[in-house]
Amino acid sequence: MINGMLTGVTTTFIPINILMVLFGCFMGSLIGMMPGLGPITAVALMIPVTYGLDPATGMVLLAGVYYGAIFGGSTASILINAPGEAATVATAIDGYPLARQGYPGKALAIAAYSSFSGGTISVIFLMFFAPMLASVATSFQSADYFALMILGLTAVSAFAGRGGVLKALMMVVLG
């Protein structure tokens, strides 16, 4: 496990990879600032750029695009109160009033710090727990997948709210 982490760190700090992660964060932020275009769209738009790159460099670029687009979505939420996706609604609720009070820089700085610290902590946890999660995921059989699917469909109908349970069950059946 330590060997894999050291390989990842050395791959990350190659100069071309540092340049690509900076470029990816910049492009992801630009794409994420547009309301309606989130991280998934940003990654999809940047995939053609990775065709001529080394696979590790391409993954570093796409990771930078993803994290940059997450921050870019908070920029649109804070400045114009237009959350482009569900993940930035809470940012709009807290950040837009702060920007209206005359502190847009403070709101953007808080969003940038939160995005950086959340991304860093999640990557550290992923480094340590990915092997365990992979072993759990590869141990699933077809019956387990079926039970997980039924659980998901039941959860959709259970969270439908009052009066909408019948509609939710109909959508589950149609889906």
Question: What per-residue confidence (pLDDT) applies to 129?
Answer: 92
Question: What per-residue confidence (pLDDT) applies to 161?
Answer: 66
Pair (84, 100) in one structural domain: yes
Rounded Cα distance between 135 and 140, Å, is: 9
Pair (82, 112) in one structural domain: yes
Structure-token pair, residue 127:
């480094």
Pair (170, 107) in one structural domain: no
Question: What per-residue confidence (pLDDT) applies to 52?
Answer: 93
Rounded Cα distance between 99 and 107, Å, is: 6
Pair (7, 38) in one structural domain: yes
- φ, ψ of residue 34 in degrees (nearest 5): -80, 120
Angle (deg, nearest 10), helices 39-46 and 55-80:
140
Pair (17, 74) in one structural domain: yes
3-state DSSP call for residue 162?
A: coil
Domain that holds residue 165: 140-174
Domain count, the chain: 2
Pair (39, 123) in one structural domain: yes
Q: What is the pLDDT along the chain (175 residues), one digit of tens a residue?
A: 788 888 888 988 999 999 999 999 999 999 999 888 889 999 999 999 999 999 999 999 999 999 999 999 999 899 999 887 888 888 999 999 999 999 999 999 999 999 899 989 998 998 889 889 999 989 999 999 999 988 888 887 777 766 677 777 777 777 6
Rounded Cα distance between 46 and 31, Å, is: 10
CB 58 within 8 A of CB 11: no
Pair (12, 50) in one structural domain: yes
Pair (124, 148) in one structural domain: no
Pair (58, 77) in one structural domain: yes
Pair (73, 24) in one structural domain: yes
CB 92 within 8 A of CB 77: yes
Pair (72, 118) in one structural domain: yes
Pair (146, 117) in one structural domain: no
Question: What per-residue confidence (pLDDT) applies to 174?
Answer: 77
